Amino acid sequence: MIEQLTSIIQQGDIIKLYKFINSPEYIVNDHKIYLDLMQLDDEIAFEWVSKYWYYRNLRIAHNIKKSLKPETKRAIILYGAGHNYLLKQQLEDDSSITVIQYGSCPKSRA
């Protein structure tokens, strides 16, 4: 994944880069880094992921939801790729929110 990402960055194609870092494969592999950190025999890494990283993403999701007004129909959220997995999960847990990631086709709303 790193070689692929490096190659895309070197090409300078921002659209290709955004599609790549929003692909399901990249998102899962990126999140796996945090899961792997929690498995290390290292209390500091475990504490950082469990107490900081998850908390940070919960606060971001909370602030996104808080900023949406009842009449809001659409919003664009831009965040770093490392937040993708958890923010998507936390926002999709709210049945009033439909998450459509860049590069994916929206579900039919008929």
User: What's the pLDDT tens digit per position in 54-97?
Assistant: 999 999 999 999 999 989 999 999 998 899 999 999 999 999 99
User: What are the tens digits of pLDDT across the range 34-61?
Assistant: 989 888 888 888 889 888 999 999 999 9
Q: Tokens representing 20?
A: 């790549």
**Is residue 13 within 8 Å of 4, Cβ to Cβ?**
no
> What span, in angstroms and rounded, lies between the C-alpha atoms of 45 and 38?
6
pTM of this structure: 0.79
Q: In terms of Cα–Cα distance, which of 77, 79, 102, 107 is closest to 24?
A: 102
SS3 34: helix
The number of helices, as runs of H, and strands, as runs of E, in the chain is: 6, 0
User: Please, where are the H alpha helices in 1-110?
Assistant: 2-11, 14-21, 24-39, 43-47, 54-67, 84-92
